[in-house]
Structure 1
Amino acid sequence: MSAQRRADDLASALARRGAGVAIVPTLAVQRHADEARLIEQTRRLLSSAPDVIVVTTGFGLRGWIETADASGLGEAIAALLAGTRVLARGPKAAGALQQVGVRAQWVAPSESSQEILAVLLDEGVTGRRIAVQLDGVGDPALVEGLRRAGATVVELPVYRCAEPADPRATGRAARELGDGRFDAVAFTSAPGADGWLNSLHDSGCVDRVRARVDDGSLLLAAVGPQTAEPLLAAAMPAVWPERSRLGSLVRLIVAELSRRAITVDTPAGLLRIFAQDAAVADTALGLSAGSLAVLRLLASRPGVVVDRETILGVLPGESSDPHSAEAAVWRLRSSLPDPEIIATVARHGYRLEAGPTS
């Protein structure tokens, strides 16, 4: 996960479905980065109400209201929102408005600031006063586009995106992605996706990761189309749910990983193999790297005998002793719900039994 905001919520939802999750924020979010200016701008709005308020993120709206409330302005901001035309940049921003009892008059379906700009320019903004709750990178295209068209823009800086707190962790995660140690990366913001791409370039892993994305062994899942834009611009195919919600993103990740996993029907149930582990009948096996490598090899040719020399070729290290292959198969069998899933074929090797129990 490249997220910092709501990372625990997303991680918990995936963990409840059996996933192992690593949270590696590719950017840091600095709240209250310019609180004095935010309060000053808020007081300006309260003394002279704008024609339109644009809410770009749910996180930003909640931060604005919390900051205003700490200065004794919370109720006044709620009343201002209720009495002003409000546009929301996507369902998450609209949902945050609903939580404070405000219904957005228009919601950008693709979470794009360009959509909001197009709607406002079509209406005409000359001489109008428009308040924009800025996202973490400032949304310069929206702000400058409105100003060029003749609007007066009041900027509301609630938070700021910055470099990750632990660059070494992002670099390590980038290398592990290239090594095939993760099945998916989840993104909840476009700046986070940009930061992730930068971490790949900085670590020299972009080509290896791109190869995994292209061959389908690494899933890139974004919460919405705007979040996916940096990935698509970098020729990294990504998927996103129809509704830009964390719950929808979780369900999409689960469905996509199940579809992409190496699967074999065995007498003990459906075997699924992922980057770091495998499961039989939806029960995780907790395999070591060596056991997983052997299982992946056998599952790549179910029902076919694989000799000991071939098994030795996928094990860590450089052993040429056939007994090492036998020991690896023994360890793998000890982790399976039914050891007979792997059959021994005397003087030839081992075979993964395919097909349900008769």
Structure 2
Amino acid sequence: MTLPLAGYTVGVTAARRADELGALLERRGATVIHGPAIRIVPLADDADLSHATRSLLTDPADVVVATTGIGFRGWMEAAEGWGLGDDLRAALSTTTLLTRGPKAKGAVRAAGLVERWAPESESNAEVLEYLLDSGVAGRRIAVQLHGEPLREFVDTLRGAGASVLEIPVYRWTTPADPAPLERLLDVVLAGGVDALTFTSAPAAASLLAAAGRRGKAEALVESLRCKVLTGCVGPITAGPLTRVGVPVVQPERARIGALVRELVVALPARALRVRAGQSELELRGQAVLVDGDLRPVPPAPMAVLRALAESPGTTLPRPVLGAVLRRHSGRTDAVDEHAVETTVGRLRSALGAAGLVQTVVKRGYRLAPST
């Protein structure tokens, strides 16, 4: 049985847990290209985190919101390093602890603490709604950030009368080695990636910024809108992309495994299925299933095959296929008939089944009419 993602190439932009995500995708047949878009910088020695922690100890909060497991653990580890671990645990044990999801809940409990409440949706929006319904006027609320400011969340609380203390536990920055991200961006723009995955909003923003620095922002957005399936682990992650009009698929629950399951459904659903002669063809990203047999097809022959498959049985003249190859390669000059003939020959060899692509003398090429 052919694996559900066989024939597809998936880009992974994650910094953390990239190996896990890549392994899950490869286990389902995908070819994975990893280009980390960010790196996480812990703030154990950061003056802002130290100041916020000491402020919390001096003036305890009524409510503390833990948004991420890694962030909460990093906060506790930093406090231990400053000799404030016991004091911070004591302060948190007397406050109302809210956790955004199971990972934050697990980190809170690992610290010997117990949360008061966690949302079913694992979303900041539900946490905010819970706080507003509980009444926040005159209350001091500490919010552990998850790598970037939660402006809407914090501003809404302040607008409702709360005093908000932001806890900046870690931040994102550009990768130390930008080369893998640049290579991934090149492959995306060249049409060699079928799906692109994101597990954090900063990674999405970083990729858009990297494209912008190269003058390729519009080209990237166009590819993500029209050609590449974009998968995000949740709505917060999707934010930078949806704001520029990129459609995304995302699981109901923000889990890496659930994101992979979404791709397992969504990518094959985009496959083009046609009949040629007596054979069933399923055009995947970088390969074709010929009667269930997976046949890798190089990019240029695949471009020709897609053009032929869009009008099964219809003859496409050589100049039309030449224009297809010109668009595929980004060339500005015309593609001659010899190049078309050579590409068709490579396509026939890749498909491995005689007679699927027929020559119509003096006219061009077509997929064999179904029989």
| Match runs of 1:42-53 below 5 Å | 50-53=61-64
The code of the aligned residue for 1:320 comes to D
- 1:258 and 1:327 map into 2 onto residues whose CA distance is 29
Contact 1:3–1:189 (CA under 8 A) maintained in structure 2 = yes
Structure 1 residue 13: Cα displacement: 1.6
* Residue among 274, 283, 293 paired with 2:303: 293
Q: 1:5 corresponds to which residue? A: 16
Q: Deviations over 1:311-355 (max 9, x none)?
A: 444446856354x44443332222224344334455554432465
Matched, 1:320 2:320: no
Q: 1:190 corresponds to which residue? A: 201
* Residue among 118, 139, 144 paired with 1:106: 118
| Match runs of 1:1-358 below 5 Å | 1-32=12-43, 34=45, 38=49, 50-67=61-78, 84-90=95-101, 93-94=104-105, 102=114, 105-107=117-119, 109=121, 111-112=123-124, 115-126=126-137, 128-143=139-154, 145-146=156-157, 151=162, 153-167=164-178, 170=181, 173-174=184-185, 176-214=187-225, 216-266=226-276, 267-274=278-285, 276-280=286-290, 284-315=294-325, 320-322=336-338, 324-345=339-360, 348-353=363-368
The code of the aligned residue for 1:240 comes to Q
Structure 1 residue 54: Cα displacement: 0.5
Q: CA separation of 1:279/1:15 partners in 2, compared to 1, >3 Å: closer, same or farther?
A: farther
Question: TM-score, with normalisation over the residues of structure 1?
Answer: 0.78
Q: CA separation of 1:198/1:76 partners in 2, compared to 1, >3 Å: closer, same or farther?
A: same
- 2:69 and 2:183 map into 1 onto residues whose CA distance is 31
Contact 1:97–1:104 (CA under 8 A) maintained in structure 2 = no
- 1:321 and 1:174 map into 2 onto residues whose CA distance is 31
- 1:137 and 1:332 map into 2 onto residues whose CA distance is 48
Q: 2:9 corresponds to which residue? A: none
> Any stretches of 5+ residues in structure 2 without a counterpart?
1-11
Q: Deviations over 1:125-162 (max 9, x none)?
A: 35544332222124355445545655555543321112
Select between 341-350 and 189-198 the one with higher mean Cα deviation: 341-350
The code of the aligned residue for 1:25 comes to P
Q: Deviations over 1:237-269 (max 9, x none)?
A: 223222221112112123222222333245454
The code of the aligned residue for 1:286 comes to P
> Any stretches of 5+ residues in structure 1 without a counterpart?
none
Select between 344-353 and 57-66 the one with higher mean Cα deviation: 344-353
Q: CA separation of 1:147/1:351 partners in 2, compared to 1, >3 Å: closer, same or farther?
A: closer
- 1:148 and 1:296 map into 2 onto residues whose CA distance is 54
Q: Deviations over 1:96-135 (max 9, x none)?
A: 55777855613273623x5434432432335544332222
Structure 1 residue 228: Cα displacement: 1.8
Question: TM-score, with normalisation over the residues of structure 2?
Answer: 0.76
Residue correspondences, number: 352
Q: Deviations over 1:179-223 (max 9, x none)?
A: 433222222222222223323333322333333444x32222221
- Secondary structure of 1:21's counterpart equals strand
The code of the aligned residue for 2:351 comes to L
Structure 1 residue 18: Cα displacement: 2.2
- 1:287 and 1:268 map into 2 onto residues whose CA distance is 17
Select between 57-66 and 310-319 the one with higher mean Cα deviation: 310-319
Structure 1 residue 30: Cα displacement: 0.6
Q: CA separation of 1:165/1:263 partners in 2, compared to 1, >3 Å: closer, same or farther?
A: farther
Select between 259-268 and 247-256 the one with higher mean Cα deviation: 259-268
- Using CA pairs under 8 Å that are at least 6 residues apart, name the structure with larger relative contact order, 1 or 2: 2
- 1:86 and 1:169 map into 2 onto residues whose CA distance is 40
Structure 1 residue 291: Cα displacement: 2.1
